[in-house]
Amino acid sequence: MPTANRSANCSNNPSHRQRQVLSLLTFPSPVCQFLWRKEGAKVRMAILALCLFVSAFGHTQSEAPVPTRLLVLDKTFNLPILWLPDEPYAPVGDWLTALKIRWVAQGSGLALKLPYQTAFLWTTTSAKVIVNGREMEVAPLLRRGEDWWLPLVSLARLLRLLAVVNPEKRMVKLAALLQSVAVKQVALGWQVSLTFSYRLPTPPKVGTLREPDRVYADFVGAALQDITLPSLPDGSPLSKMRLGQFSNEPLILRFVAETTSPLQISVVGSEIGDEGDERWHLLLFSSEQREQWLGQIRLQENISTRAIFRFWGRFEEKPTVRYEGTTLSILLPSAPLLPLDNASFTDEGLVREARVEGQGTAARLVVTLLKPAQAHWEKREQGVELVIETPFVRPRRVRLIVVDAGHGGKDPGAMSPSQPSLLEKHLTLDIAFRLKRLLEQGGYQVLLTRTDDTYLPLPDRVAIANNAGADAFVSIHLNAFPQPGGQWGTEVYYWTLQSLPLAESIYRHLLTLLGRKGNGIRQRQLYVIRHTFMPSVLVEPCYLNHPEEEALLRQEWFRERIALAIFWGIAEFFGDLPTLQKQGE
């Protein structure tokens, strides 16, 4: 048919509408064929438009969602995806929070707000949208019933992300692209800056390697594209730089610099561009250097009861904190090299305002709080964290919590593969004592099933809780996998329906505070949670024989966080958390 030939020759790359026309004219329905032969040219065009509409409508309604894995930066989601001819569509939901995108329904579309304060409207008829003054072509949104569906390739193009679509494996990946690498000499050493098309979910993990001497930085959620590495300046201790896709699942891009002598590497901080790109700065310096320095201060968590500031740099001692009512003053060793990062600031958070004042050794961080709070320092591999928390007060009524430290005595439980060995029975008792302290500070009564390294049969543990008439029973364990390193993450177990809300509350706070992979809330007939009368759970915060989680369990701050997450979960379950937050209001 001549019309089809002319359409096919209009462009080497037919548009979506051209492909629809070609498809309809090449494989018309019997009705369309009949009418096409009988009617004149003008009527033919009207028939063509009607057939296009019917074809598109029928096509849309016939497509069914298919279970698909969606990898968004560092998070994995299992979602029903519409695999349409042009691109896959995902239902609007929690996965967008991994990109720090907020949304609200508005008329025939969605108003989307990006993390760098840009907002735009995307509708079911949109062929283009304007983002940061740039007009970009997109596929329209879809609406099915109450659900909105976003075209993933178009979304990636708007956000300047890489979209990897694999229909055979039913997988879609969205990753930030590395855009450039720069190197320059600074007073403290050599600064390497890597710019990515989108803000990464976590700071890079850095380290050193030997034989040959080299340093590396791993960027989670990032993908590699062809870029030109800069020439190394004369006199630089760097002999060679290279980039590689260290892992495809999760997506990890690795930067490596070979050095002529042993160097250290530290994270300085990051800067956000006007269009949401992020530039991470790394400092390479001599292993013999002892000078104090401060790269950046970042407000990385800010909820109504807790805030965390991350300080990148090198400190000989923890900075001094001064309390002045609802204001904290933190004396700094020097002015930060980069501006304060307030990305986590919210109107509902504990921190209302934060600013850096002064220069040099007179510099200080001034923090204005919503209510009086206490602060303490926690050591990190890169710098330190200042944790600010509201004090606890007594709950509405005294409740009795039985805390069960798993294993003990002749039953060691799981064992770490590394030396010196960590035994589950020792770690669970340590966490149990920490949880006991937090619960008692919150006004609860606490009964431990064991207070030392003794063996206690399971029926005895149950009897302690039942005979005491406890309000809740929490058994603390640490997981292990048959193949060391083969599994990691957090799990919480329950049996009775009355225990499910307690399991959900503790699980939610464990994921928030520990940041490990969530393996789920599982219903199992485990003895201690099946035979107790009250709401009962068994907690497995992480895997003792996974190398990364073993290293975390060796740190006191991590075990304290496990206890704190369980405490918050218990308080939330009983409805005591709002009462515990009222101090200072």
d(CA 248, CA 242): 17
d(CA 454, CA 411): 9
The two counts, helices (H) then strands (E), for the chain are 12, 34
How far does the chain reach from its first CA to its final CA, in angstroms? 78
Delineate the domains of the chain, giving CATH numbers in brackets: 2-62 (no CATH), 66-159 (3.30.457), 174-286 (2.60.40.3500), 293-389 (2.60.40.3470), 400-579 (3.40.630.40)
- Would you state the structure tokens that stand for residue 86, as one six-digit string? 């042009």
d(CA 58, CA 39): 24
**In sequence order, what E strands does 139-237 have?**
142-144, 147-151, 161-166, 171-186, 189-196, 205-209, 214-220, 222-223
Residue carrying structure tokens 């520990």: 514
**Residue range 459-479, pLDDT digits in tens:** 999 999 999 999 999 999 999
For residue 404, the tally of other CB atoms under 10 A from its CB is 28
How high is the pLDDT of residue 396?
A: 53
> What CA–CA distances, in Å, run from 211 to 391, 439, 572?
50, 50, 52
What is the average pLDDT score of the chain?
A: 84
- Identity at 517, one-letter amino acid code: K
d(CA 203, CA 214): 20
**In sequence order, what E strands does 58-170 have?**
66-72, 75-83, 88-91, 102-106, 109-113, 119-123, 128-131, 134-137, 142-144, 147-151, 161-166
How high is the pLDDT of residue 46?
A: 52
% of the chain with per-residue pLDDT over 90? 56
**Residue range 487-546, pLDDT digits in tens:** 999 999 999 999 999 999 999 999 989 989 999 999 999 999 999 999 999 999 999 999
Q: Which of 3, 172, 6, 159 minimizes the C-alpha distance to 81? A: 172
- Would you state the structure tokens that stand for residue 490, as one six-digit string? 């957090």
**In sequence order, what E strands does 273-415 have?**
278-286, 293-302, 306-314, 321-324, 327-331, 351-357, 364-369, 374-379, 384-389, 400-405
d(CA 276, CA 115): 7
Under 8 Å between Cβ of 221 and 176: yes
Phi-psi region for residue 358, left (φ > 0), alpha (ψ -120 to 50) or beta?
Answer: left
Low-confidence ranges of the chain (pLDDT < 50): 1-39, 43, 47-48, 50-62, 393-395, 582-585
0.75 exceeded by the pTM? no
Q: Which of 416, 553, 543, 439 minimizes the C-alpha distance to 491? A: 543
